Structure 1
């Protein structure tokens, strides 16, 4: 009888736990044709487009963002405050490591490629063709240029 009472109390306790997500937040599904593109964040050079797929890059918590870079686009050496997890959806990303944008040292990462960088890792990217990346990380998202003069917000 005691075992049954303990079991019943345990079930009542679990029923009292709050839900961790509302019905609206339980899942996210976006088909490729439903991605809503807009201007990329102002911390990036003009010309790229972005689409937030999940979460909010300006707030604490997980988010997923797609970035569409046109041919000829480049982001000068920079770092991020959190892990950056990136998948190349289409096109090719030229990824270079370090505080100097040495294109000869960059590695070509075609569609389907993946890279993950720990916080504070200096890197740069450029694109010879239109490329779409998916960035998954924890917000608030930030980007700090190695050379503050490269920050497009400083020239606007």
Structure 2
């Protein structure tokens, strides 16, 4: 015995069918104006700017994508070998990949972690942390911030 599809379900199938037929046509008419981008920390076209004053000498940041005053900004963060990055925090969570060098990172209340080239690290929003760049060349981190880019020094009492 065959089961009959009741009229309400028949309408749902019709809507789904029309969606699958018309969506590709609509999507083809949508113009995507944003261009893709690739970059290496060694690109001569990168515009490196200064870090906040409390960071070590030779610290630089290059904006890769986005506006640093708005959500979702990607940067390269670079410090010289044997540099200490003082304890600080960010409003945003940060997702990081070390692309050059070797870096020790310590988040408040946690053990020190060693990042080597290709290592991923996640830093929770507002959690104080400090770091040290080793002697294996400059340390360069790719960092993706969810919130606007900021950094605040932890004031010691």
Q: How many residues align?
A: 138
Whole-angstrom distance in 1 between the partners of 2:88 and 2:35 = 34
Match of 2:18 in 1: 7
Secondary structure of the residue that 2:88 maps to in structure 1? strand
Q: CA, structure 1 residues 53+35, in 2 after alignment: closer, same or farther (shift >3 Å)?
A: farther
Whole-angstrom distance in 1 between the partners of 2:44 and 2:18 = 47
| Mapped contact 1:56–1:139 kept (Cα < 8 A) | no
Structure-to-structure mapping, 1:53-68, within 5 angstroms: 53-59=64-70, 61-68=71-78
Whole-angstrom distance in 2 between the partners of 1:57 and 1:44 = 19
Offset, 1:35: 5.0
Query: C-alpha root-mean-square deviation of aligned residues, in Å?
Result: 3.3
Whole-angstrom distance in 2 between the partners of 1:117 and 1:66 = 16
Match of 1:137 in 2: 145
Q: CA, structure 1 residues 122+42, in 2 after alignment: closer, same or farther (shift >3 Å)?
A: closer
Secondary structure of the residue that 2:38 maps to in structure 1? coil
| Structure 1 unmatched runs, 5+ | 100-104, 150-156
Offset, 1:55: 0.9
Q: Does 1:29 align with 2:35?
A: no
Structure of greater Rg: 2
Q: CA, structure 1 residues 118+66, in 2 after alignment: closer, same or farther (shift >3 Å)?
A: same
| Mapped contact 1:64–1:134 kept (Cα < 8 A) | yes
Whole-angstrom distance in 2 between the partners of 1:44 and 1:57 = 19
Structure-to-structure mapping, 1:5-154, within 5 angstroms: 7=18, 11=22, 15=26, 22-23=32-33, 25-31=34-40, 32-45=42-55, 46-59=57-70, 61-98=71-108, 106-129=112-135, 130-147=138-155
